[in-house]
Amino acid sequence: MVLDSRPPAPLVLRAAAGTASRGDAQLPLTVTEFRLLCELAAVPGRVLSRPELLERVWQHGYFGDERIVDVHIRRLRTKVELDPGAPELVVTVRGLGYRLDPQ
């Protein structure tokens, strides 16, 4: 068995073009997932709370359960993380919110 010792391709976000990719692979993000990723990438390393993300991503006064953010973060992780079960890019900060750890 041969293991690939190369480091994984970095996540590349092109906000103006509306695309995200890892290596040569385009990531099939929904509009909401893409907006979440852009908001987190705009302040790398800074924690954004659920209310902040609701305000920034949904913008038009979402009045439902704040847990909708968790659902979209979970879906985003399945597409951008190498191991969604052990995220290294989109990180949960318990009790506070989420942050994007720059690569």
- Three state DSSP letters for 62-88: CCCCCCHHHHHHHHHHHHHCCCCCCCC
Q: Over the stretch 11-65, which tens digit does the pLDDT of each residue have? A: 899 999 999 998 889 999 999 999 999 999 999 999 999 999 998 998 776 667 7
The phi and psi torsions of 56 (rounded to 5 degrees) equal -75, -40
Owner of token pair 């852009």: 38
pLDDT number for residue 5: 56
* CATH class of segment(s) 11-100: mainly alpha
Owner of token pair 């879906």: 75
pTM of the model: 0.86
Query: Where along the chain do its domains lie?
Result: 11-100
